[in-house]
A and B are shown apart, each in its own frame.
Chain A
Amino acid sequence: MADPYKPRAPFAPWDRRTLPGIFDVEESARRVGNYKWTEMKLFEALGGWVATVPELDVKMRLGTHCYKHAWHAELWHKRLPELREMNPERLTAPANDAMVRFIEAMTEPEAPELTIEKLVGVYRVLIPRFIAAYTYHLNGTSEITDAPTIRSLKFILQDEFEDWRDGEMILQSLIETPEEAARAAAHMQKLEAIMIEAGGIAGIGTLGAL
């Protein structure tokens, strides 16, 4: 056995984590507050829609995904005080007014014939935006100082990818005609236009400045 008293490097040769990150504590907390607000709006909408969709498989998927996004909101809620925000409600906010309008437009469809619109808003617009914002955060933040956020981001991203795949496959199975494809595209375009104005889940600069 190796001599236990022999000095070893604090970072193993295979541990390539680096200290610098692109967010300070304040910016990280602001983004986490935006994530929490949006995850909350999403889980509430998914829960509300369960009663409005006639398709049994969609009903069950929405119920399952509702919890996943609630859990994400809870993770962010718990992270905020660790980022010096002792009143998590203060930062639990939309990035801007356009984001509020986006959620209003996304949650507007209610009729049982509008399952395609409901799913397009979530799985073709919002969740891809979540994946983008979370990936940017994961790749940009300090691997050492912000490790707790990274851990949550990795768990959450795994859910987002799985839910996106579920939702996209359901959509592909629901869209059977060119007219339905046009409906999906029109609704996506309408929501994307608002999302572009919002700049993403964390507002302008969600994915940095190019």
Chain B
Amino acid sequence: MRKFFPVEDLARDSRFSKITIADRMADQRTALNVNVDADGPSKRTNNMRLTPSRRDASDGARGLMHGIFVGEIQALEGAGRTCWDFETGTEAPFALKLDMARQCWDEARHVEISVKLSDWMGSEIGQYAENTVLFEAACSSDPVLRLAGVNRALEGLAIDVFTTMKEFGDLAGDQYLEFCEDWMLADEVTHVKMGSDWLRKITENDPERRKKALEFQNVVDKLFSYGGTRSDSQESPIGLARRFRELAGFTDDEVEVIAEVSMQALNERKVAVGQIREAKRLADQSAHK
């Protein structure tokens, strides 16, 4: 078996279809599109948070759950590769690899939970396509960058997603969903803390490596803030779970940076949507002349 496994070779059964992140965001069934009007074109609202009151709540929640499911598979694969790709001692500490093995078990459970929750919510494996950008963040040749990109950026996003889904379950009176999200959230906080602790420990005397890792984390954070899907604003389907992020080892300053990046992404998206609408209006106007 090779060291460093290419993302395009990720093994899947025939139910799965892989797509790019741009394709994924363009899927009209997903709840993550900020440019889709939840209440219809004539009743545009500023509140896009994924809640049961949204007209597209059922489909949106199902799509998000499927996204969680495939994300958990890739997180499992990424943690597993970190166990294999690096020599113990010379390239990665023994204790770090033990943590990654522990994460494998946790992610395997999350896949199991997601499969059962997807079934509960009425969707099937492969109903939505899979983008593999999460695993790509786990392909760095430096284990510290993997921890920054996956454990801190992506598992950090998972904290935000699970918090939103837990609230969704609470508001919908779906105790089954709320119960499962609560447990997965606990694991994710542990994984993010693992990443925070290892990042600080390994780069304690290597500021350049720490800087590189944090830059990589910012890139991944920005990538996953694509379209403003996650921010403090109610215009984003997913909120920023500040309290759980603090529990996971993020400093106040780090949370502020993520909040800023997310808001910036949301604003960029709003400008882009505004431009598209204006262009369409002008095109309609000239067609009626």
Contacts and interface: CB of A to CB of B under 8 A. Distances in A.
Interface stretch (A6-14, A63-71, A148-156): A63-71
Given A47-B104, A50-B104, A59-B73, A66 B12 contact: no
Contact of B112 (A40, A60, A66, A108): A60
Interface stretch (B49-57, B82-90, B237-245, B276-284): B82-90
A63 B104 CA distance: 5
B125 A63 contact: no
A145 to B, nearest CB: 28
Given A45-B1, A51-B77, A64-B105, A56 B85 contact: no
B107 interface: yes
Contacts of B82: 47
A136 to B, nearest CB: 26
B191 to A, nearest CB: 13
A63 B107 contact: yes
B101 A43 contact: yes
A77 B94 contact: yes
Main secondary structure of the interface of A (DSSP, over half): helix
Contact of B80 (A54, A66, A68, A69): A66
A112 B80 contact: no
Mostly, the B contact residues are: helix
Contacts of A47: 79-84, 100-101, 104
A53 B82 CA distance: 16
B12 A54 contact: yes
Candidate in A40, A48, A54, A77 with the most chain B CB atoms within 10 angstroms: A48
Interface string B1-34: 1100100011111000000000000000000000
24 contacts: A40-B88, A43-B101, A44-B83, A44-B84, A44-B97, A47-B101, A47-B104, A48-B80, A49-B1, A49-B80, A50-B76, A50-B81, A51-B5, A52-B1, A60-B76, A64-B104, A70-B97, A71-B98, A71-B101, A73-B94, A73-B98, A109-B1, A110-B1, A110-B2
Interface of B: 1-2, 5, 9-13, 73, 76-77, 79-85, 88-89, 94, 97-98, 100-102, 104-105, 107-109, 111-112, 115, 125, 135
Interface of A: 40, 43-56, 59-64, 66-71, 73-74, 77, 89, 107-110, 112
